[in-house]
Homo-oligomer: A and B are copies of this chain.
Amino acid sequence: MRGGTAVSIAYQTLRLSDLPGLRAAIRSGDYVKHTAGLGAGHLQTNLAILPEAYALDFMRYCQRNPKPCPLVGVSDTGDPMMRTLGRDIDIRTDVPAYNIYLDGKLADSVTDITDIWRDDMVAFALGCSFTFERALEEAGVPQWHIDHDTTVPMFRSNIETVPAGPFGGKMVVSMRMIAPERIDEVREISRRFPLAHGAPVHIGDPEGLGIADLSRPDWGDPAEIEPGKTPVFWACGVTPQVAIERAGVPLCITHKPGHMLVTDISETAEVPVLNPKHH
């Protein structure tokens, strides 16, 4: 498992293998690293926290771009508890690391935002690729970045997102090399997870997406361009971060990439909403 060895050496006294232990370790600040492979089958999410004045437009942006921005949870204004995603999730403490953007520029990275949370804040949780990556792993589809414990390569594509208010810009895509004979299966598996980017947005020819050099990603680490395999591109959760930077929102807080919110929701739940009855 990606990160498994490093995690077990550095944090061998922490109980990370179950959800309550992981949540407690993150909340206390004892665990501040990435969450890939952790969480025992629970939905992990990207995070964007914005002032309410931007919330309606940002929510419209997510609705109009459901593949890069699959909305899985929204807090009440000023309420730091993500009530539909867990019984006791405090968004100010329960993510391992946060990035703080001022006027659209990365200003700081912290492990707790209790002191900067405000009464006009709205927290948005967005589905992430860990969900379909796990499904591909279970189907025995190798993914280079997982096998080599690196971050998936991501590229700015030439696909325009559908704008909403100040939010817009190009879609960011992640790339995985897939054996041609497994592409249909990979498409079907990932399509089953509409709240985790769904089916690929492009298969083959990087130039069709305006990507000049597959070995030089805009984010993440380069992955080997494996001979005989085809590059397959998915909509990526970095897209809303780019849209937020472009919009120049005065104050925005996101997760630090890879350092996700781990929810109480099962990855296989039909809807990402905690509701004791009939859901």
Contact = CB atoms under 8 A, between A and B. Distances in A.
Interface of A: 52, 55-56, 59-60, 63-67, 71, 73-74, 76-77, 83-84, 159-160, 162, 164-165, 191, 194, 198-199, 201-202, 209, 270-271, 273, 275, 277-279
Nearest to A233: B278
B56 A271 contact: no
B270 A194 contact: yes
Contacts of A198: 270-271
A273 B65 contact: yes
A196 to B, nearest CB: 13
A73 B63 contact: yes
For the complex of A and B, the 9 pairs showing the least CB-CB separation, nearest first, are A56-B56, A201-B278, A66-B271, A60-B74, A59-B59, A64-B84, A159-B278, A63-B74, A159-B277
Contacts of A59: 56, 59-60, 63, 74
A64 B82 CA distance: 11
A12 B275 CA distance: 48
Nearest to A277: B159
A194 B199 CA distance: 15
Contacts of A275: 162
A194 to B, nearest CB: 6
Contacts of A64: 74, 84, 273
Contact of A277 (B65, B160, B271, B273): B160
Contact of A270 (B76, B83, B191): B191
A55 B52 CA distance: 12
Contact of A67 (B60, B162, B209, B279): B279
Given A199-B270, A270-B191, A63 B71 contact: yes
A74 to B, nearest CB: 5
Contacts of A76: 60, 164-165
Contacts of A199: 270
B202 A66 contact: no
A273 to B, nearest CB: 6
B162 A273 contact: yes
A134 to B, nearest CB: 20
A275 B27 CA distance: 41
